[in-house]
Amino acid sequence: MITIIDGVPIEEGSGNVYKDLGYPNAEQMLLKADLTHQLQQTINNLGFTKQQAAEKIGMTESWLSDLLDGQFRNIDEATIIQCLERISNF
Which pLDDT tens digit goes with each residue over 19-42? 999 999 999 999 999 999 999 999
The answer to whether 53 and 62 have CB atoms below 8 angstroms apart is: no
The answer to whether 36 and 68 have CB atoms below 8 angstroms apart is: yes
CATH number of 24-88, picked from 2.30.30.90, 1.10.287.3510, 1.10.260.40, 3.90.550.10? 1.10.260.40
Calculate ∠ Cα 62-65-67, nearest 5°: 110
Per residue in 50-67, pLDDT (tens digit) is 999 999 999 999 999 999
Cβ-based neighbour number of residue 86 at 10 Å: 15
The pLDDT of residue 1 is above 80: no
The number of residues in the chain equals 90
Closest C-alpha among 35, 82, 31 to residue 59: 82
Rounded to whole angstroms, how far apart are CA atoms 51 and 40?
Answer: 13
DSSP lists the bridge partners of residue 9 as 4
Report pTM: 0.85
| Backbone phi, psi, residue 83, to 5° | -60, -45
